[in-house]
Amino acid sequence: MVQEYKNTDLDLFQKIDLTNPKDELLKKNKIGSSQQENNNIKFNYLNHEISKFENLESHLSQDKSKKLDDILFSQLDVDDYASFKNMYPHNISQPKLNVSKLSVKKHINEDGTYPNLVSKNTKDKTSEIFQGIYPEPKFLPGGDKYLLIEFGNVMNLELNFKAQGLSNLIKTANIKGVYETLPCFASMIVHYNPDDIGYQDLINELKSLLKDMKDNDDTVVNSRLFHFPTVYLDKWTKEAIEDYIAKITMKKPDPEFITELNQLDDVNHFVRVHSGTEYWVASLGFWPGLPFTMPLDPRCKLTAPKYNPPRTWTPKGTVGMGGSSTAIYPDRLPGGYQIFGRTPVPIWDPDKNFDVFKDSICLFRPGDRIKFVPCDYDEFEMIEKKVEDKSYRYDLIEEHKFSIKKYKNWLSKLDYNKKF
């Protein structure tokens, strides 16, 4: 049942409208020339406001003994949406997950020290990296217009290949009712119109596409590599951290926190590790152009929890990490990632001032790679000036083919005892 407003309710809303009388009074205020007239206007306006709120108070204090309309809630199946346009189902039946314990990583021991998050066992690292892939994808409702597909429960390249591969197949298949897809690290969302295709029918279509997908080892994708000059341990993120500590809560500065959590020697060691690999752009989100990335070299994989509560501001171009994902903030934004560096290179350009944005206001696309190159303040300021006068040229290595098979072969030959 949908509750409808009564005419008397609508009349009341009109009576207590605060905008029209105020606008007229303001117009009179502009016309009047004497101070007395201004004072009269203010006095009348104040009385007018008091009178309106007294009317509202009187209405709300009326006899409440009258029986109100009943509002009934009923459980809907996901596919019932087409019969209830513009309404959201209040309950959606979901399968229970067979979870024996919470998969929450504890970041601080009871004695105040940090746990050992760095594996000392270097045996068969390649197979370990590619664990956590489900035998069959899981399909879950993501509300009344979205379908969530999970391919596994870990962050690795093969799962992201699955998500991107299915996303490309969906676009090619041109399924009626499917608006868009958003692949992420190990999952993807499909936005669809339930009037055109039902929930279960969509799942059946996607299962059929999955059968046609090649084995990931045979998958090859186009990948661009961008070099991003970055000032690590910079003054701008330091200011944001200090502001957070002063106004929100006490915490260890982010670079020191990440260093201790990952058992590195010092913050300089952290910089060497973080900048020692290329980062794979798995997804874009949170803000236009913001890349969520993961390290391609597992020896450079670091981890850190997000802020709780988050910051109210983060400098534009900040480089930070949450979990094992590294991101670049496209603008001055709130945020929760641990922050430790800043780049002067824009990653989104609504005005399309640079040729690299001719096809999109966002620089990155899934499958791109980023290499953070440490730089000093002088180089930062030089690049910043070039960006301002629109003469900057992006350090882009042209597209080449990226293969999972070759990537796995490269992983198998890594020296895990190497220290950055």
The predicted-structure confidence for 130-167, as pLDDT tens digits, reads as follows 567 888 999 999 989 999 999 998 888 889 988 988 99
The set of residues, in sequence order, having a beta carbon less than 8 Å from that of 149 and lying 6+ positions away, is: 137, 138, 139, 140, 163, 166, 187, 188, 189, 190, 206
**Predicted local distance difference test score (pLDDT) of residue 175:** 95
| Residue bearing the bigger pLDDT, 107 or 297 | 297
Mean pLDDT of the chain: 80
- Closest by CA to 81, choosing from 141, 154, 35, 151, is 141
Tokens of 63: 């006899």
In sequence order, the 6+-apart residues with CB closer than 8 A to the CB of 280 are 157, 160, 293, 294, 295, 296, 367, 369
- Tell me the per-residue pLDDT of 27-75, one tens digit each, with 9 for 90 and over: 444 444 445 555 555 455 556 556 655 666 666 566 555 555 667 676 6
- Model confidence band, residue 234 (pLDDT cutoffs 50, 70, 90): very high
The pairing of beta strand 220-232 with beta strand 396-403: antiparallel
Q: 41-50, 67-76, 167-176, 338-347 — which is least confidently predicted?
A: 41-50
Q: How confident is the model at residue 96 (pLDDT cuts 50, 70, 90)?
A: very low
Residue 275's pLDDT is what?
Answer: 98
Query: Distance between CA 351 and CA 106 in Å, rounded?
Result: 44
* Reported confidence tier of residue 418, pLDDT bands at 50, 70, 90: confident
Angle at 338 between CA 378 and CA 299, to 5 degrees: 85
Residue 118 has pLDDT above 70, yes or no: no
Pairing mode of beta strands 220-232, 369-374: parallel
- When pLDDT is cut at 50, 70 and 90, the band that residue 219 belongs to is confident
The band of 399, judged by pLDDT with boundaries at 50, 70 and 90, is confident
Q: Calculate the dihedral angle through the C-alpha atoms of 375, 381, 387, 388, rounding to the nearest 10 degrees.
A: 170
Burial call 112-121: b when 16+ CB within 10 Å, e when fewer: eeeeeeeeee
Q: How confident is the model at residue 189 (pLDDT cuts 50, 70, 90)?
A: very high
Residue 249 has a pLDDT of: 94
3-state secondary structure of 291: strand
User: In 107-233, which ranges are continuous DSSP H helix?
Assistant: 125-129, 157-173, 199-212
